[in-house]
Amino acid sequence: MITKQPNLDSVTSINEDGSHYIIHPADVQGIFTFWRRVIGVLLIAVYVALPWIPINGAPAVFFDLVHRKFHFFGLTFLTEDLWLGFFLFSGLGFGLFYATALFGRIWCGAACPYTVFLEHVFRRIERVIDGDCNARRRLEQAPWTGGKIVRRIVKHGIYLLAATAIAHVFVSYFVSLPRLYGYMRQSPLDHVGAFGVMLFLTGALYFCFSWFREQFCIILCPYGRIQSALTDDDTVIIGYDEARGEPRGKANDENSGDCINCLRCVQVCPTGIDIRNGLQMECIGCAACMDACNKIMDKVKRPRGLIRYDSLNGLAGGKRRFLRPRIYLYTGLMILGVGVMALFLSRLKPAKVEINRMPGRPYYLTDTAIRNQFRVVFTTKKSEETEFNVTVKGLPDQATVAGLEGSFTVPPQSEIEKIIFIQVPRKGYQGQFTIDLESLVEPGDFTLRDDIEFLGPSPYILNAEEEQKEAAKKESSHE
Amino acid sequence: MKKNEIVLRDHSYDGIQEYDQKLPNWWLFTFYIMIVWFVVFWVLYYQSPVKIANDYERLDKEIAEINAKKENELKAILATLNDDSLLKMSRDPSHLAAGKAIFETKCFVCHGIDLSATLNGAKLPGLPLNDKEWKYGGKPMQIMETITHGPPKFKPDGTPNPQLGMIAWNNQLSPSQIAEVVAYILSKQPR
C-alpha cells in the first residue's frame, strides 16, 4: 500500500493538482490516546448535558433568544449586561494564549469541539464500518461495487444522523428543551427559522466531519494560524529528539540512532505530517505519534520518549525554561480579564432600578410649588416574585413624593414602570438638590441605590419674584 | 518539467523565494461559487423586474401592517362600544380595577391620583376630571375619542386649538385599555 511521503514544501492533504488527499490515520493505542478519549467523552457529555441541568430554575447554560435572557450557571444576564462578554472573552482569549505559550496546541488536540466530535464520534463510526486504515484505503481505491455502495450509504447515513444530533444539541443552547421538542414534532414549515438553522448546521457539520476534516484545522481555523506568534523555543510541544533519533537505521544497527524509520508516527498522524521534520503548523498536538513511537521503542527495547512533550530548547539539549517574560505577560493579561469579570460579576445584582427624568420640561413651576417628574423602571432577573421597598432620601422638608407607595412586587423576570413626581413648595425650596432612591430588594435582602438631580429655578430669582408679588399684593391692599 | 512537480519560482526578494503550488480545489470552488452568486444577485437585484424590498421598505411595510392592525382593532372595538356599554363597564369591578391600574401609572401624573389635577394643593398640568366640566365633550364616547387621539386640533369654529395639552394615547394603550380607563373615569364622576 503506497502512502504519500510528507514533506516540508507542500501540504500532504492537498495533492499537487489541488485535490484533497484523504488521510487515513492508522489505529493507535497508548496512555495519551486513552486520556484524550476520556477527555473527549467527558466533554461530549458536558456539551449535551448543560442545557438539561437546571440551576436556579433555568438550564445551566441557556441563551434564551426568544426572551433575550442569558442563563449562565445560575446567573441570569439581560442584553444590557452584554458588555461583560468583553471581559469573558478577553479572559478566555488570554487564557488560551497562556495555555498556548505553555503547551502549544494542546487545546486543539484534546479539547477543541471540532477535534472532539471528529476524533471520538465520526472517526469511530468510520473505523467500525470501514475497518482499519489499510481497509479504508483499499475501499477508497476499489471500484464501485454493490458492497462498497452499501457501506458508503450506511456510513454517510450514520454521519448524517450524528450531525443532526449535534445540530440539535447546538440549537438546544438557544431554544428551550420543551420548545425544541415541540418543534421536532411539528412540521418544519411551522418553524422555518429554527429548522433552517438546524438544517444548515447539519449540512456544515456533515461536510466538515465527513470530508473537510483536517483542512479546517490547517487552513481555516484562525487560532491555528496565530499559533506561531504565540509559541517560542520554550513552549512545550510535541517534538522529535533529533539528536537521539538520527541517523535513522535498522533496529540492530549499532551505529544508527534510535529511530528505526518505521513510519508509524507518519501513519497515525491525522493531519498527515512527519513529526520528524520538526514543529509544523499542521500539528494539532494530538499526541498520536507519541503513543505510536513509544510502542515501537518498547518493542525494540529502547527508552521511550523519542517523540515527546518537550520544548524546542529541551529537544536540542538546551535548558528548559518554564517561566519567561511571555508567560508573565499572558498571565497578567489573563488575570486582568478574569479579575475584572469576577469583580463585576460579584457586583452584579439580580435586580435593577433605573430613574430617569420624564421627557418634556426639566421642571414645572406652579403657583405654590416646583415639581419634577421621573420615570422609574424596576427590573428583576429573579425567577420568583421580587419585592421592592423604596424610600426616597435627600428631600428637603415639606417635599412630597407621589407615585411610589412603599413596597410593591414585580412578577418574576419582568419589569414594571412607575411614574413618580416630587414636589417642593416654593417656601421650602433652597435650590437644586440630589435625590437618593434607595430600594430594598427581597428576597436577597440587598439595597440598590440610584440618584438623580432635582432641578428647579435659581432660588434667588424665585425669592425675588415672591417678594415682588408680596409687595404688589401689599400695595394693592393699601389702595 | 515533470507534471505536478513542486515549482520554486525563480524570482527572489531579499533571498526569499516562493513556491508555485495549486490552491486547494475546495478553496478555488469558493471563488467560483462567489462568481455564480454575483451573477444571480446582480440579475435578481438590479436587472430583473422582481422587486426585492430593502430594509427600509420592509420596515415601513411592517409598521404599516402594525398600524393597519391597530386601526382594525380600534374599529372592531369601537363597533362594540357605545355610551351605554361604556357606562355598563364603569359598573364592572374587573374593568374598573384594570382601568385604575392604567390610570395610576400613566394618567395620574397630570390628572392627579384623585382626578382633581392637584397634588397637595398644587395645580398639575392636566384638567380636573371630577368636576363635571368637560372641555372636549363629556359623553363616554367623546372621552374615548379624546384619550385615543388627543384633544381636537381645531375648535368647532375652525380656528386652531391653542391648548394641545394631552398626547394621543393610541400609541401606548390599546383600544380596550383606553375603554377601561374611560370606565374608571366614569365611575369616579360625582353624582
Span B82-113, pLDDT tens digits: 888 888 888 888 888 999 989 988 888 788 88
Give the separation between CA A297 and CA B36, rounded to whole angstroms.
54
Question: Of A377, A373, A400, whose CA–CA distance to A456 is shortest?
Answer: A373
Q: Name every chain B residue with its beta carbon within 8 A of the beta carbon of A368.
A: 121-122
The x, y and z cell numbers of residue A196, run together, are 433552517
Q: Do the chains contact at A368 and B28, CB–CB below 8 Å? A: no
Backbone angles phi, psi at A369, to 5 degrees: -150, 170
Question: Which pLDDT does position A234 carry in this prediction?
Answer: 92
Question: Which pLDDT does position B1 carry in this prediction?
Answer: 46
Is the predicted pLDDT of residue A228 greater than 90, yes or no?
Answer: no
Question: Which pLDDT does position A125 carry in this prediction?
Answer: 95
> What tens digit of pLDDT does each residue of B118-176 get?
776 667 778 888 888 888 888 888 898 889 888 887 777 777 766 557 888 888 888 88
Give the separation between CA B148 and CA B67, rounded to whole angstroms.
14
The CATH 1.10.760.10 domain(s) of chain B lie at 55-187
Between A369 and A268, whose confidence is greater? A268
- Asked whether the beta carbons of A71 and A247 are under 8 A apart, the reply is no
pLDDT, mean of residues A269-287: 92
Question: Mutate which of B109, B114, B166 to disrupt the A interface (most A C-beta within 10 Å)?
Answer: B109
Question: Which pLDDT does position B5 carry in this prediction?
Answer: 65
The CATH code of domain B55-187 reads 1.10.760.10
Q: Do the chains contact at B119 and A400, CB–CB below 8 Å? A: yes
Is the predicted pLDDT of residue A417 greater than 70, yes or no?
Answer: yes
Q: Which residues of A214-245 are buried (b: 16+ CB within 10 A; e: fewer)?
A: bbbbbbebebbeebeebbbebbbbbbbbbeeb
Which domains, from first to last, does chain A contain? 1-111+213-348 (no CATH), 351-465 (2.60.40.10)
Give the separation between CA A386 and CA A349, rounded to whole angstroms.
13
Q: Which of B5, B122, B125 sits opposite A368 (nearest CB)?
A: B122
- Asked whether the beta carbons of B165 and B123 are under 8 A apart, the reply is no
ipTM attached to this prediction: 0.74
- Asked whether the beta carbons of A284 and A271 are under 8 A apart, the reply is yes
- Beta-bridged to residue A451, according to DSSP, are A436
pLDDT, mean of residues A367-392: 86
User: A440 burial class (0-12, 13-18, 19+ CB within 10 angstroms)?
Assistant: middle
pLDDT-derived band at A83 (thresholds 50, 70, 90) equals: confident
- Cα–chain-centroid distance for residue A86? 11
- Asked whether the beta carbons of A147 and A159 are under 8 A apart, the reply is no
Is the predicted pLDDT of residue B2 greater than 60, yes or no?
Answer: no
Give the separation between CA A14 and CA B22, rounded to whole angstroms.
9
pLDDT-derived band at A405 (thresholds 50, 70, 90) equals: low
The DSSP-derived string for B9-21 is PS--BTTB--EE-
Mean pLDDT rounded to a whole number for chain B: 84
pLDDT-derived band at A479 (thresholds 50, 70, 90) equals: low
Give the separation between CA B67 and CA B116, rounded to whole angstroms.
34
Q: Name every chain B residue with its beta carbon within 8 A of the beta carbon of A418.
A: 105
Q: Which of B4, B27, B121 sits opposite A16 (nearest CB)?
A: B4
pLDDT-derived band at A286 (thresholds 50, 70, 90) equals: very high
Can you give the pTM of this predicted structure?
A: 0.75
DSSP character for A10? Answer: S
Backbone angles phi, psi at B7, to 5 degrees: -100, 125
Q: How far separated are the first and last CA of chain A, in Å rounded?
A: 125
CA distances from A292 to A269, A283, A307, B63, B182 (A): 10, 15, 9, 66, 84
Q: Which of A9, A366, A419 sits opposite B6 (nearest CB)?
A: A9
- Asked whether the beta carbons of A288 and A270 are under 8 A apart, the reply is yes
